[in-house]
Amino acid sequence: MRMSLALTLVALVIGAGCRTGFAEGQVFVVDFSNPDLNPPHWTLTVHPDGSGHFHSEMGKPVQGNQPEIDAPSVDRDVQLSPSFAAHVFETAQRHKFFNEDCDSHLKVAFQGWKKLSYTGPGGSGSCTFNFSKDKEIEALGDSLNAVAETILEGARLEMLLQHDRLGLDKEMEFLVDAAGNGRAQQICTIREILVRLAEDDEVLERVRKRAKLLLAQGGNT
């Protein structure tokens, strides 16, 4: 009972950390595509209060350094932290609402096309890049990819909880590692499934411990 109450309080703290006041009329969208990945295409819409929506469609299985289970198609509302949302919109303003050439046009490895779009009272614009020489734009693209990775991991965890509880062990190990090195960011977007795992006595103790660890870190990652 005490543990359940503690986890509820942690979830409420994380939830509070992922909300702020809403500034109407501003919308940011990132549209990502890479046929060599699964999913090959996803979009993330973000509002200034951190609320948003994520959409992806499951593609064909791919080989490489990927989780062993592919995420199902995802179409859901998400809540990001106010600090992350603020950074997104501040970057848009500093870069003329993306009315500039973002791509380096260099012959570099293909990382996936990232289209950044902004609409709001002050203007609108968009730019598309594989790799950007602008460090802030490139870093933003990396962070958005890391947010998508977190949301997709959450969908994998939900599927494993329903169909393969033993598979949760390796998947949670992958997620903790990804959160530790920045490949997964904004853990607050998947706090619901993490709370379920942390409280589920039918999953391995290692899974519960890792879920609690991520919940404890979720307000800052």
pLDDT digits (tens, 9 = 90+) for 152-200: 999 999 999 999 999 999 999 999 999 999 999 999 999 999 999 999 9
Question: What 3-state DSSP class applies to 36?
Answer: coil
pLDDT reported for residue 217: 87
pLDDT classification of 59: cutoffs 50, 70, 90:
confident
Spatial separation of the C-alpha atoms in residues 72 and 31, rounded to whole Å = 18
| This prediction's pTM | 0.86
Residue 215 and residue 11: Cα distance in Å, rounded? 7
Would you say residue 139 has pLDDT above 70? yes
Q: Do the Cβ atoms of 3 and 97 come closer than 8 Å?
A: no
- Over pLDDT 70: what percentage of the chain? 84
Please tell me the distance from the alpha carbon of residue 13 to that of residue 191, in angstroms, as a whole number.
Answer: 11
Pairing of strands 74-79, 123-129: unpaired
Strands (E), the chain: 27-33, 41-46, 51-56, 74-79, 113-120, 123-129
Q: What is the mean pLDDT of the chain?
A: 89
Q: CA-CA distance, 130 to 2, in Å (whole number)?
A: 49
Q: Is 119 exposed, middle or buried (0-12, 13-18, 19+ CB in 10 A)?
A: middle
Pick the closest to residue 143 from 154, 155, 132 (CA basis).
Answer: 132
Bond preceding residue 82 cis, omega within 30 of 0: no
**Above pLDDT 90, what percent of the chain?**
79
pLDDT at 146: 98
Do you find a cis peptide bond into 121, omega within 30 degrees of 0?
no
Distance CA 51, CA 135 (A): 26
Structure tokens at 23: 């500034």
Q: How far apart are CA 122 and CA 102, in angstroms?
A: 20
For residue 195, the SS3 value is helix
